[in-house]
Amino acid sequence: MAQTDDIITLELGRYRLLEPIAGSAYGLVWRASGPSGSGDVALKLVNAAQMERAAPALRARWVQSAQAEIAFLQSLEPWDECHIVRLLDSGWHQGLPVQALELLGQDLARHSAACGAPPLPRALAWMRQLNQALAKVHQYGWRYLDLKPANVLVDPWLDRVKLADFGTSRRLASLEPHSYCGTAQWQAPEQFFPAAGGGYATGTHSDYFALGALLFYVVTGGQSPAYCAECGDAYRGRLADGAADLLARHGGLPATLQPLDEDRFAAALPVAALDPALALLRALLAPAPADRPRNALHISRLLDAIPYSEGPCLRAA
C-alpha cells in the first residue's frame, strides 16, 4: 500500500509521495514531488489494496483500463491538451501501471460544494470547454462514458476546466454492446438500461447526455435531474440489477427531464437566457440518442445561442 514519502520511479524520473488527494475503488491519486525543478504532480496509482481482494478478471480489467488511459493520453498532440489533463510521465510500480499527471485545482464536485453555482458566462464557458474536450476524445476514436463532476478538474489560475480519468473510455471502432461501466447518476438511458440482447449499446451521443446532466448540475449549483438521481439510487441499491427495478416501478423508461427539473433550471437563469438554455438542456437530455445534438459543432451552436449577459433571474422577474 502506498505511503507518504514512498519513492516511485517512472520513465522520466523519480517521484516522492506527499499526500493523498483523491481515491476510489479503482484508483488512488497522490500529490507527489517530481524530478528536481519540475514541481509537484498528481500521481495516479491503481488501488493495490482493492486489487488484492478483487477477482482475477476484475484485476485484469483494472490494469487494462489504466493502460488504455495512458495510451489515449500519449496519443494526444500537445495542442489537443487544452481541456484534457496532460500526461507528464508513466511507468510501472510493483507490477501496476502508474501515471504522473499535471496537478490542477479541485474537481468540480468539491468546487461546487464550496462555491455554489458560477455566474452564467463562466458556466457556459466551462460547457464549451468540456464540449471541446469530448470532441477530442471522439476525434481520437474513443467514447468517454464517465463524464461527472469528480472527473472535471478546475484550473483556478486560468479559470478553465479539464477532463480527467479515462479508464472507462471505450473504442468507437467497436460499437457492439459492452459490459456495464461508468457512474449511474450521470448516464444516458442506453448506458444504464441494458439492450434487449444484453450489454450496453453506447456511442458518442451517450457523452452528450452526460454533458446535459453536467450543465444542469453547474447551473443549479450542484443538483442533478430527478432521472439521474433515481438511476444513482437504483444502482446503489442493487447495482446493475437496479435498472430492471426502475423500469418496473415506472412501467417503462422514466422521463429523463421532468417539469420540476425545468423549473429548477429556469429559476437559476437570467430571463434572456431562459429559452435557448432550456432548448440546449432538452436536446442533450433527450431519451433517444438520435434526438440529441448531432455532434460537437451542433452543441457549440446551441451554446452560442444563449446570451452571455447577466440579468434578473426568472424567480425575480
What the chain holds in terms of domains, given with CATH numbers, is 7-101 (3.30.200.20), 108-316 (1.10.510.10)
SS3 of 240, please?
A: helix
| Per-residue confidence (pLDDT) for residue 309, from 0 to 100 | 55
> What CA–CA distance (Å, rounded) separates 80 from 289?
26
Q: Which amino acid is at 221?
A: G
| Per-residue confidence (pLDDT) for residue 242, from 0 to 100 | 93
- Specify which residues 30 forms β-bridges with: 20, 43
Nearest residue to 163 (alpha-carbon basis) of 226, 219, 81: 81
| Per-residue confidence (pLDDT) for residue 52, from 0 to 100 | 79
Element (H, E) at 288: none
Q: Which amino acid is at 185?
A: Q
Q: From first to last of its 317 residues, what are the pLDDT tens digits of the chain?
A: 789 999 999 999 999 999 999 877 678 999 999 988 788 999 999 887 787 777 888 788 888 889 989 999 999 988 888 899 999 999 999 889 999 999 998 999 999 999 999 999 999 999 999 999 999 999 999 999 999 999 999 987 778 999 999 988 999 988 889 989 999 999 999 999 999 888 999 999 999 999 999 999 999 999 999 999 999 999 999 998 899 999 999 999 999 999 999 999 999 999 999 999 999 999 999 999 999 999 999 999 999 999 975 544 444 33
SS3 of 193, please?
A: coil
pTM, to two decimals: 0.92
Within 8 A by CB and 6+ apart from 48, the residues are 1, 2, 94, 96
Locus of grid cell 442506453? 190
Strand arrangement of the beta sheet that strand 96-101 belongs to: 7-9, 14-23, 27-33, 40-46, 96-101, 87-93
CA dist list (Å): 312 to 125, 266, 290, 292: 20, 12, 35, 29
HEC sequence for 37-102: CCCEEEEEEECHHHHHHCCHHHHHHHHHHHHHHHHHHHHCCHHHCCCECCEEEEEEECCEEEEEEC
| Per-residue confidence (pLDDT) for residue 190, from 0 to 100 | 97
| Per-residue confidence (pLDDT) for residue 317, from 0 to 100 | 30
Q: What is the phi/psi pair of residue 90, to 5°?
A: -155, 170
